Amino acid sequence: MPPRNLNIIIIAAAISLLCYSTHRRVRPAMIVGDALNLIDMFYVDPVDDDELLTAAMNGMTSTLDENSEYIPGDDYVTFQDSINQEFAGIGIFVEASEDGGPVRVKTPLVGSPALKAGFRPGDLIVRVDNEDVSKMPLPDVSTRLRGPIGTSVNVSVKRLAKTENVDASSNENVAEPVFEIKDLVVQRARIELESVAGDYRDENDRWVFRLREDPTIAYIRLTSFGDKSTDEMTAALKGLDNNYRALVFDLRGNGGGLLHTAADIADMFLDSGNIVSTRTRGGVIESNFDANGGTLVDSKIPIAILIDGNSASASEIVAACLQDNNRATIVGTRSFGKGTVQNILPLQYGRSALRLTVARYYRPSGANIHRATDAKPEDEWGVTPNDTMLVELDEASLLKVSQRWSESAYPALVVDEVLDPNAESSTTIDPQLRRAVEVLKEKMESATPQAAAA
């Protein structure tokens, strides 16, 4: 057989194999596409193509684990904003009213256009650009407040009017609260979100990373592991310059974020040792993160980490790492138990995305943190507080702690208007923080008994 003919046969065979392989991959997509077209053409009622696509994708990912999902357009934008720690808007935190009324302003952000325009905590948003939003759900109101940078939005808020003080000891009937409408015009801007917080803000709106009741104990609360969290943590720790006797690192309510950010932050506390490893399909080790030499926190300074049932993923990586390396005492309640790694895979040229579990991570001890759907309390999952460090919070304490966190973020401009000057201190209202401080003081006293006595 001439060599030319042999080459043609080989090329044809290769093309045939490629076509067969491509057909096997494309065939399921063709079936889904055909079904969407048939529904669109023949279903008895009109259908929305985007809704059909979302339903199809949700059905596909529903057979996977609970952390794999399809992220449609608007949700994908919000997701990217949370990871990038910035968004285009006016700069307020809002919440739904308990009675189903208008969306309430929790607080304008420090340095935001909303603060300059006159927004205050407690304001009820009733109109946006002359549209009544008083009965709209929170997501719809948030969407209307967002928009291109540099554009303006008109917002009408209902605010409790200032009234003369009434003598509560008198027998006169107390008047009903009086509200007034304020029309505010605010220009949208790029708003940067903080992920690192302290115990309170000073008069210049800078976080103070020390406990007000005991400034010798540093306090840092991390709310997420975003793109800027490493730089924020570095700045906070360098600002403290190891000029403290102990550190409380608060990861309660932190649902996680970026894996590399978790590894970087854990490395700030460790001079050596393993941080975390990840394994892909078949248990193959994909990556192994170890501490580099040097730390931002002196190895002699005791650390307590606060966790709860909402501390997940990256929070558990840091807590488990420092617990296994005997670098920190874990205080609070058992963490969530999310020990899987997700990749964000863009779809539709970046207009949507697939959030897909691609690996599991393992703490330095070799244990997998992930809680299976059928896991029992006695099974091994999550991060468990050290012995005698389990501290439960009742609903009243949870509410007080949440309110304390919100109020600590208020800009100095509005603090005197809305806060009680006689409010209880952090350790008074927070049993978990109080226990962390107690164990840190015990460690400080055992390490330097003469200094403590003095």
Compute, in degrees rounded to 10, the torsion defined by CA atoms 323, 324, 325, 330: 10
What are the two backbone dihedrals, phi and then psi, of residue 328, each rounded to the nearest 5 degrees?
-145, 155
Q: And the tokens for 349?
A: 């040229």
Quick count: other Cβ atoms within 10 Å of Cβ 122?
Answer: 16
Q: And the tokens for 257?
A: 């974020």
Cα–Cα distance measured from residue 306 to residue 170, given in angstroms and rounded to the nearest whole number: 46
CB-CB contact of 92 with 120 (8 Å)? no
Among the listed residues 303, 273, 277, 297, the one whose alpha carbon sits nearest the alpha carbon of residue 289: 277
Among the listed residues 273, 394, 403, 398, the one whose alpha carbon sits nearest the alpha carbon of residue 328: 273
Q: DSSP states of 252-273 as a string?
A: TT---B-HHHHHHHHHTT-SSS
Cα–Cα distance measured from residue 274 to residue 266, given in angstroms and rounded to the nearest whole number: 10
Cα–Cα distance measured from residue 234 to residue 86, given in angstroms and rounded to the nearest whole number: 19
CB-CB contact of 301 with 327 (8 Å)? no
| Angle value at C-alpha 408, between 303 and 414, nearest 5 degrees | 160
Residue positions annotated with a catalytic role: 313, 324, 338
